[in-house]
Structure 1
């Protein structure tokens, strides 16, 4: 009896739900090396998807608890750009629907550039609402980076088209009249905060890349304003610009 071509089996596996699927079990009886390779690849894919599903559910624990208390609109809030020598601090606030599902979503710093870009598009498309807050370097110098971070977060919250009933914030307390919880490493433990971290980082990275096109000597498109050796050398040779934070070392030692 002729066996199914391996390419045909590969196509069929794309519609198999899991390793307990009757079709998958049937293919286990095929001794051909090519089929064995396909099955091992499929098993690894299922295992990875299961891990991502479990991770996603674990990162929903704050949200689930609040949904059970009757809250509906939860905003995750996070920022990026507290440490760089140049550019703004950017925050995002995101309200996700209760049925939101994006396996693999986590702290934006742990995602590849391509994955982060794809997730950014998906989150913006599927969120109930999102807001972005941007505080420039001059304001950072005036009020300090900690206060500027809070201003960016509040600005992001105020831009939400839907008023949040509760805030989940990454390691920060805000002086706003909205119930809130500050979560250490929230971008890796809360889906809502993880989503906001992706939007904040993509927004800031885009800003710095555009700045890099205007001022290529500083390498902003690569260092995102952080104090790399090349960036510090460029500051010494090209000088300090408005986008630099004059209150940050080593810039403050140069301007003083």
Structure 2
């Protein structure tokens, strides 16, 4: 039985709510420790891609966890705290820009996912990912929109998003003027303007086209 839930903010019901359908596919085959895996920051121009892995108790109870993209920052923070409280195991790993530039974004996401899964204790018996086809001997389901459809993947999405946002807010102080606390490294107009004004930082992914184009321009002008 799950412990009693914490006091959580009142949230409007989203158009799609998760359930245990994908988890039940694994449970029927005798795999009860099912890890959900999700990432945040894959499309950003700067900062890490962050991957979380979560194993929830298989109680088949209704949970408040939702896809992090459907929630406000305060809602995500409250629910991420609840995920850490009730999970059997959870882990968060980052792939930083050097690794992203070396492996490409998909390869770096896979690498961070495998590191997160390796830290789970107890270890998972099966996996569900948000359309991430990991190379693994474990039984794997990788449906699209799994973060909106599976409680376990929704829980992972909450940890990945809140941890990455926390990091980018901290890093904003190290690189003043770039606005990382506001846009979190994504391609907002303010981010593009800061790049053109202040240049590329070690947090930027040099293999990403907008950053690469700026570097080419700087090399051409000798700046």
TM-score normalised by L of structure 2 = 0.87
TM-score normalised by L of structure 1 = 0.76
Structure 1 residue 163 corresponds to structure 2 residue 123: yes
| Alignment match, 2:83 | 123
The SS at the match of 2:51 is strand
- State the Cα RMSD in Å: 2.0
| Alignment match, 2:159 | 199
Q: 5 Å matches for 1:75-224?
A: 75-99=35-59, 101=61, 103-224=63-184
Shift of 1:104: 3.5
Stretches of structure 2 lacking an aligned partner (at least 5 in a row): 1-9, 217-223
Instruction: Say if 1:147 and 1:245 are closer, same or farther in 2 by CA, change over 3 A.
Output: same
Do the aligned partners of 2:20 and 2:151 also contact (CA within 8 Å) in 1? yes
After superposition, the C-alpha distances for 1:93-135 in whole angstroms (9 at most, x for unaligned) are: 0000012756442211101111110010010011000111210
Instruction: Say if 1:222 and 1:100 are closer, same or farther in 2 by CA, change over 3 A.
Output: farther
Match of 1:65 among 10, 25, 49: 25
Do the aligned partners of 2:64 and 2:79 also contact (CA within 8 Å) in 1? no
After superposition, the C-alpha distances for 1:168-203 in whole angstroms (9 at most, x for unaligned) are: 011011112211111111000111100000000011
The SS at the match of 2:168 is helix
Q: Which has the higher contact order (CA 8 A, sep 6+)?
A: 2
Instruction: Say if 1:123 and 1:103 are closer, same or farther in 2 by CA, change over 3 A.
Output: same
Shift of 1:84: 0.7
Shift of 1:64: 2.2
Count of residue correspondences? 206
The SS at the match of 1:205 is helix
Stretches of structure 1 lacking an aligned partner (at least 5 in a row): 1-44
